[in-house]
Amino acid sequence: MGLIDNVAGLAGNTFQSSTTLILTAVVLYIGYFVVSDIRQWLKLRHIPGPFISSFTRFPLVKCAWNGRMSYDYHALQQKYGPLFRITPDTVMYGDADTMRVVNAVRGGFSKAWWYQGSKHLKDVHNLFSLTDEHERKVLREKLAKGYTYGKDTGLFERRVDNNIERWINLIERKYISTDTELRPMELAHKAQYFTIDVMTELNSSEASGYLEQDRDVDGFIEVNDKFVPWVPTMMAFPAVNNILRSWPFSTLLGSEGDEVGFGRMIGVTSKRIQKRLDALEKDKYAGRGDDMMQAFIDSGLTHDELLAEIMLEFPAGSDSTSNAIRLTILQLITNPSALTSLRSEIDTAVSLGQISSPITNAEAMRLPYLQAVIREGLRLYPPATGTMPKIVPKGGLTVHGYFVPEGTQMAVNIMHICRDKEVFGEDAHIFNPDRWIAAHREDKEGRYAKMCRTADLIFGNGKYECIGKHIAWLELNKVFVELLRRYDFAPIDASKPLKVHDFAFWLVEDFWLKVTRRRTVV
């Protein structure tokens, strides 16, 4: 019995010691965050904002989870002023001048860990997720050759034209309604089929086949739509991001061997890259491709670096541009005056021989009302509404009369910038392309130029400017003209034409339209 008692006593002491260690670790863990939050509160206590934001990030997530993220930020900005606290270590601004300072090439700011939530591959960063400023600069210089590869030769334009033709063929084949037959088209998916096929053809000379097959070929859109609501949480909480990217949760995000979704796209893209690399190894001349991938390879990117960048383009390139198409078409078909003005411009240009079929990018740039419509659609609904926080450099700075200490994160409120009444007028909250026409005609005190510079911030600026924005403009310059010169669009349910939520990207669903041929196709 004595031996048993001794063993039991030893076990009890061991258990008590383990419990004490665990409790101590928990207390220290909680204490660390309490002390950290108190320190942050002391540093930023002079900056206004919701009291709860002084010690928790949950208000940031709450804004996202209700699907009205940018609207809630806009309301908070109106309540608390030009600079306010949104988390214990983050302040939010909503003006163009501050954004230009934060993103300036020599401004000294750097990316916050928020960006790492966009890392798609376990061991390789992409241009967006990379936070080291030197590494990011080196990578951007390598990528620049790919993003400008077909810009001057017309290659990019021809490949966008290819996919517009595929979309038109799909509509003609399946979605033309008549007086006796309704054949509704769901635009939210079709717009993304178009942008995915554009990006894959630009990258590897071969479209993914979404438009030709009229389906979510890889299951990417289905998985993406389920994943998007989680993006703000992953980016707001580093711990959540790390957990979701660790086994077994990482399996939910997809892996190369999957048959559907993001994992399938990783696998398909990886095989395309390896096929090109093998061909080049066999014959460095005959194996070359005429696309962005080849330009990236020539710049020295490895297989995994190529994979990381191309996978970034699916959400960054296809999702953002497809949302611009969806939400601009929504505004047009619910604003008869704007639609009539755009149609009149297109029809007149065709009759005068000023528009080809398909329209060229140069021709589109010479259509003022088209440019006004595109700018107004992007301004009213910026395709990406994430907070894009940057870290204040050594020495801090003063913003709107408040000193912001070094190490603080500064987040942008892009919707507030794009709905600034001082820049865009008292009706900045509504879709009105005529504001651009009037400003250009009157050009009082350079107002038109100021509007353009402000609205262009949706693509970032300075060292953080979107590297592929010219591709988005190329798609938008063509797609509206080619669709609207041929078809009339009407919502199936005029009272609720679609479902839309804002989770840093717009999640658009059930945008059902009746498509009919125009009586006079131009």
How far apart CA 473 and CA 455 sit, in angstroms, is: 13
Q: Which of 416, 469, 403, 410 is nearest to 108 (CA)?
A: 410
| The total number of residues written for the chain in this structure | 522
**The Cα angle at residue 448 between residues 376 and 363, in degrees rounded to 5:** 65
Q: Indicate the DSSP class of residue 503.
A: S
Q: Which of 302, 132, 126, 322 is nearest to 225 (CA)?
A: 322
Is the CB of residue 480 less than 8 Å from the CB of residue 328?
yes
Is the CB of residue 342 less than 8 Å from the CB of residue 370?
yes
Q: How far is CA 461 from the centre of its chain?
A: 15
How far apart CA 352 and CA 330 sit, in angstroms, is: 29
How far apart CA 459 and CA 379 sit, in angstroms, is: 11
Q: Indicate the DSSP class of residue 315.
A: I
The residues, ordered by sequence, that sit 6+ positions from 59 with a Cβ below 8 Å of its Cβ are: 50, 52, 53, 86, 87
How far apart CA 182 and CA 202 sit, in angstroms, is: 35
Residue 63 is labelled as binding a ligand = no
Is the CB of residue 119 less than 8 Å from the CB of residue 305?
no
Encoded tokens for 499: 């479902």
The residues, ordered by sequence, that sit 6+ positions from 517 with a Cβ below 8 Å of its Cβ are: 176, 486, 487, 488
Neighbouring-strand partners of residue 111: 390
Question: What sign for the dihedral angle of Cα 494, 228, 314, 117?
Answer: positive
Is the CB of residue 298 less than 8 Å from the CB of residue 163?
no
- The number of beta carbons lying within 10 Å of the beta carbon of residue 355 is 22
Phi, psi of 59 (to 5 degrees): -60, -35
Q: Which of 363, 331, 350 is nearest to 521 (CA)?
A: 350
Binding site residue list for heme: 466
Binding site residue list: 466
